[in-house]
Structure 1
Amino acid sequence: PKFQDVFGHTLVELAERDERIVGVTPAMPTGCSMNFLMKKYPHRAYDVGIAEGHAVTFSAGLAKEGLIPFCNIYSSFLQRGYDQVIHDVALSRVHMVLCLDRAGLVGEDGATHHGVYDMAFLRCVPDLIVASPLNEHELRNMMLTGYKGINAPMVIRYPRGKGVLTDWRNTPRIIEIGKGRCLTEGESVAFLSIGPIGNIVQTVVSRLAEKGVSAAHYDMVFLKPLDEELLHCIGKKYDTIITVEDGCRKGGFGSAVVEFMADNDYRPRIRRVGVPDRFVEQGSVPEQYTDCGMDADSLFRLTEELLLHP
């Protein structure tokens, strides 16, 4: 299924539990699958038109009145509501969930629609929780956590298009805020990823194992707050670290890891893989990944080069 359809169905499931849950979208009900909620509960879903800043402030106002809004905006278009995210959401610490559809590279829509800047511009905002799911189960877990596990604003970013699971309808569970996890143990090199691009990293780790290279893979889950306990363990253990993100290299997830290592006097060799400092033109998502060096073959070659030249 598409990530946005999993979002839409899960939102309806949560709305069935709690009448305080409402949906807000700025003219994207079909694109983000908010139309599922509109069909089931037409008086609890709002399309505010092409007005992203208003969508954010409107959601914050609903939250102030005791509702729990799920505000769904394409990542690229949240840029139009950045002021409102800071002043109306984070500063007020309202309980709402901001779901960023189309996060990362989006394919043929091109440079205007790539959602590659959100991690860089959100991680500097105090009192926001920012997370990205590896797969559809994790998206559902995060939505439940944003609704029931915390009383603060939470951002969930996920990509355009299909996920990776056929049996996606798990029983959601509340996850611990700011906790990452080790997906694969290893000794030679550590991959740190966030979001669905971690599935590509898992493929690379398996290919490296076939070549006799022991690579670890950590899914950090949360950009903010970072799992500092896990990063301390990684900083002490590994001389070579590769960060992988479906977002801009400058100021994003990899930069956050570099800052942590520098601030805590760890000195591993770190390579950041992500969208370079240029606008990425139209093409399929696999073509764009290859163009940016984010595909499995490029990651495999990078790892081999690093290990051959320690």
Structure 2
Amino acid sequence: MYLENINGPKDIKKLKTEELKVLADETRAALINKISKAGGHSGPNLGMVEMTVALHYVFDSPKDKIVFDVSHQCYPHKILTGRKEAFLDSEHFGDATGYTNPLESEHDFFTIGHASTSISLALGLAKGRDLRQVNGNVIAIIGDGALSGGEALEGLDYAGEYNKNLIIILNDNDQSIAENHGGMYKTLKDLRETNGKSSDNIFKSFGLDYKYLDDGHDIKSLVDLFKSVKDIDRPIVLHIHTIKGKGLPYAEKDRESWHAGGPFNVEDGSPKFKAQEADDPVFDSIKELLDTNPEAILVNASVPMGLGMVKGVREEYVNRGQFIDVGIAEENMVAMSAGIAKNGATVVFSTFAPFFQRTYDQVSHDLCLNDIPATMLVLHPGVYGLNSNTHIGLCDIQMFAHIPNLIYLAPTTKEEYFQMFKFATTQKEHPVGIRVPANLPETGVKDTTDYSKYNKNKIEKKGSKVALFAVGVLMPLAMKTAQKVKDEIGLDITVVNPRFLTGLDEELLNGLKKEHQLVITIEDGELMGGFGQNIASFYGNSDMKVLNYGVSKAFHTDFNPDELLRENGISQENLVNVIKEFIK
């Protein structure tokens, strides 16, 4: 074995070129060992093994700085830079995160989990090198999917007039998470089919030098290519064709399903744990809309599976002209949706909560300033959504609640979600956003609320002295807390379901002053600037006591949702104790 002796790039350089193939095989085996037992990003990493071995054989990390776009393809890099035990030994699987992390290694330069950032970050590193007058290569590695993002194109544009060392590696496996969409992919296809000789070359049009390699798994060719550009004095794009999922036949064949996932059996790719089947209210609502309204359309940014639009399903709606995937281009998704709705059609646009961060200007300026009635579905917000610090959606309320004209709704049940969706896609007054948690309970009781009566909260349980406001998925906790208070001290407290997060029900809030002395708010996102603090501000010059509970301001990562809530006071035990203490 070679890998057991590899503790960093310097050890790789001791090998002969012909020995690198064996090291690549051992690296892939270590990678498969971990992802098959613990899950993770499979396809992106499997396709990067040989390239990563060659990179560290030729270049001198960390003096030469490698920036991984998204960084969900950095597992081989971690294995070869002193972190192999996190892939070989199950007891150490938690030692390395799924993305580059400067706290782990001097070979990682940024904590990254979003797409299209590497070229701009690398340009910054290069400019910093120039200002300090030091030597070293700067290398940005970007996939063809991430190339569709606006920031990547902005980076390429500036790189075209930069005049010093910058190496941009395009890892082209002809696949984003799902299939690629956009005109540039015809260009990339032509370049692949002509071995890089097509006159239609987007990179040269930016003024960049260019080289193509068709077999991105041939280590000798990779080494030769990298040696030919090491210490180059100008920007260059190395267009390298790879196979997503390389080394696992089923992953090579079904690239979309094998982008990422849970533990699996290596022999046939079958999952080790059977996933629970659950109804998907998002897909059901969208399907009903598209099937009954020929003027309706769904727009998404490269995550169709999050909406239930998996391969084999979405093609029907693509053929009807009712489904658009704009690629990893969330800003375009929002602005394009605004244009669709402005011209009279019914549009729903959606992505996961963390990725909506990119769209703030488009939501505020293009959509809400123009008061256009489009529907925005914010997937998996709050603590029960994604939990990596690169993928948390704890600030969606802060992002959207204060934007004029926007109606932002928080369902507590599937029935409320369906009614809110129906309202959002039939009204023609304002843009409407809906928080869509990963799991919503089903009550069996149809919601008949008229959501055109804005900012009207619902009293789920009427009581006195204490009113507990619970946002979205925290409603079951609020109801259990109320029951526990009743059981222990015989007090019925009021439980309120706000439903609207972009305005206050002032009539209800004023009414509570008559029989209540304490208002408590709980929300599953960040406390600062959240829903509860708006309630506190309203009661600021009154005798009402207000307690707000939410998540602390931090880049929380790899957390257990219930534990994080409990640490921030959002637990039945704490809430009951607070209420009992107040009553005493």
TM-score (norm 2): 0.49
With over 3 angstroms needed to count, the CA separation of the structure-2 counterparts of 1:166 and 1:138, relative to structure 1, is closer
Aligned-partner SS, 2:417: helix
Structure 1: runs of 5 or more not aligned: none
- Unpaired runs of 5+ residues, structure 2, are 1-275
Deviation at 1:3, TM superposition (A): 8.9
The total of aligned residue pairs comes to: 304
CA deviation after TM superposition for structure 1 residue 188, in Å: 2.4
CA distance, structure 2, for counterparts of residue 251 and residue 171 of structure 1: 30
Deviations 1:138-181 (A, max 9, x none): 00010001011342100111212x2212758x587643332111
Per the alignment, residue 101 of structure 1 pairs with 379
The yes-or-no answer on 1:271 pairing with 2:543 is no
Partners of 1:72 and 1:82 in 2: CA distance? 14
Residues in 1 aligned to 2:473 and 2:277: alpha-carbon distance in whole angstroms: 13
1:155 alignment counterpart: 433
| Whole-angstrom distance in 2 between the partners of 1:158 and 1:301 | 31
Match of 1:141 in 2: 419
For residues 196 and 220 of structure 1, what CA distance do their matches in structure 2 show? 12
Normalising by structure 1, what TM-score? 0.90
283-292 or 65-74: which moved more?
Answer: 283-292
Deviation (angstroms), 1:225 = 2.6
Does 1:117 pair with 2:395?
A: yes
Rate the CA distance shift 1:31–1:207 in 2: closer, same or farther, 3 A: same
The farther-off stretch of 276-285 and 127-136 is 276-285
2 CA distance for matches of 1:182 and 1:92? 33
Deviates more, 1:100-109 or 1:235-244: 100-109
- Superposed counterparts of 1:215-234, under 5 Å: 215-234=493-512
Q: For residue 547 of structure 2, give the secondary structure of its aligned residue in structure 1.
A: strand
Q: 1:258 to 1:166 in 2, by over 3 A?
A: closer
**Taking structure 1 as reference, are residues 218 and 37 closer, same or farther at Cα in structure 2, changes over 3 Å only?**
farther
2:457 to 164, 172, 180: 180
Report the counterpart of residue 210 of structure 1 in structure 2. Answer: 487
Distance 1:135 1:4 in 2: 13
Structure 1 residue 120, shift from structure 2 partner:
1.3
Larger RCO: 1 or 2 (CA < 8 Å, sep 6+): 1
Residues 377 and 435 of structure 2 are in contact (CA less than 8 Å); yes or no, is this contact kept in structure 1?
yes
Q: 2:358 and 2:278 mapped to 1: Cα distance?
A: 23
Q: 2:301 is matched with which residue? A: 26
Deviation at 1:39, TM superposition (A): 4.9
One of 461, 469, 474 as aligned partner of 1:197 = 474
User: Could you tell me how far apart the structure 1 residues matched to 2:547 and 2:277 are?
Assistant: 31
Deviates most, 27-36 or 46-55:
27-36
State the identity %: 26
> One-letter code of the match for 1:59?
S
Q: Which of the pair has more CA radius of gyration?
A: 2
**CA apart distance, 1:246:** 1.2
Q: What SS is found at the alignment partner of 1:192?
A: strand
Structure 1 residue 269: Cα displacement: 1.0
The match for 2:578 among 270, 280, 302 is 302
Q: For 1:58 and 1:167, how far apart are their aligned partners in 2?
A: 37
Equivalence for 2:317? 41
User: Quick check: 91-100 or 171-180, which moved more?
Assistant: 171-180
Q: Match for 2:485: what amino acid?
A: L
- 1:81-136 deviation per Cα after TM superposition (whole angstroms, max 9, x unaligned): 00001111101111101110111113663222221111112122111111100110
Deviations 1:48-104 (A, max 9, x none): 111111111111111112111111121121111000011111011111011101111
SS at match of 1:69: strand
Q: Between 298-307 and 91-100, report the one with greater CA deviation.
A: 298-307
The alpha-carbon distance between structure 1 residues 55 and 213, as it changes in their structure 2 partners (threshold 3 A), is: same
Q: CA RMSD in A?
A: 2.3
C-alpha deviation, 1:293, in angstroms: 2.3
In structure 2, C-alpha distance between the alignment counterparts of 1:241 and 1:194, rounded to whole Å? 14
Cα displacement (A) at 1:229: 1.2
* Residues in 1 aligned to 2:448 and 2:305: alpha-carbon distance in whole angstroms: 24
Tell me which protein shows more strand as a share of its residues.
1
The answer on 1:12 being equivalent to 2:290 is no
Determine if the alignment matches structure 1 residue 280 to structure 2 residue 541: no
**Amino acid in the other structure paired with 2:582:** L
CA-to-aligned-CA distance 1:213-248 (integer Å, 9 cap, x gap):
221101111012322211111234321110111111
